[in-house]
């Protein structure tokens, strides 16, 4: 049985770290150290990303449907509607490569941002008395939660910021609209 991709990556890291790093000139060391960290992060990413995308994409498609309903189906941009249909069909197509899943995920991200911007615009025009738990507001909060969760799921395979370092107050859990 041959070595797995993870064993091979670990072997490369060991070779570079133990045999090459000590003899590398000072001005190249930080790049080599970054390479070693990235190899470790990439192994982690390859291991986890396929399953993550499989879970995230249907969740995103579901949210797009909810956003369109909150905006009112009659007012939806036909291009956005068409995109949603195509993305759903693509997701159902069996045998996709990881790169194809990433392209699909990236396309749905654009659609979500289109819809979130429209939801924001709709909320701004709501009468004062209705600015509480309206449909668009709930769906927009769900969009933000989904984007935050998906971003957080990708933080384990980076080595720049230890977790919670960017505006740390944001670690405090939030409650209320769109939760769950």
Which residues of this protein are in contact with another protein, per CB under 8 A?
A: 27, 30-32, 34-35, 37-38, 41, 106-107, 109-110, 112-113, 116-117, 120, 124, 131-133, 137, 140-141, 143-145, 147-148, 151-152, 154-155, 157-161, 165-170, 174-177
Least distance from C-beta 122 to another protein, angstroms? 13
Cβ proximity to another protein: between 26 and 92 the closer is 26
* Pairwise CA distance, residues 108 & 120, whole Å: 18
Least distance from C-beta 92 to another protein, angstroms? 22
Least distance from C-beta 120 to another protein, angstroms? 7
Least distance from C-beta 177 to another protein, angstroms? 6
Cβ proximity to another protein: between 37 and 135 the closer is 37
Cβ proximity to another protein: between 10 and 52 the closer is 52
Cβ proximity to another protein: between 32 and 76 the closer is 32
């Amino acid at each position: 049985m041959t070595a797995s991709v993870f064993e091979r990556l670990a072997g490369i890291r060991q070779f570079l770290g133990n045999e090459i790093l000590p003899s590398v000139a000072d001005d190249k060391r930080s790049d080599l150290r970054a390479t070693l960290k990235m190899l470790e992060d990439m192994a982690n990413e390859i291991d986890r990303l396929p399953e993550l995308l499989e879970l995230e994409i249907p969740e995103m498609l579901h949210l797009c449907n909810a956003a369109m309903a909150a905006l009112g189906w009659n007012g939806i941009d036909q291009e956005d509607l068409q995109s949603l249909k195509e993305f759903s069909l693509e997701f159902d197509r069996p045998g996709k490569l990881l790169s194809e899943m990433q392209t699909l995920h990236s396309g749905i991200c654009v659609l979500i941002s289109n819809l979130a911007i429209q939801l924001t615009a709709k909320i701004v025009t709501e009468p004062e008395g209705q600015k509480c738990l309206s449909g668009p507001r709930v769906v927009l909060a769900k969009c933000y939660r989904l984007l935050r969760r998906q971003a957080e799921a990708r933080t384990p395979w980076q080595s720049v910021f230890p977790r919670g370092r960017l505006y740390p107050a944001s670690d405090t859990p939030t409650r209320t609209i769109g939760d769950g």
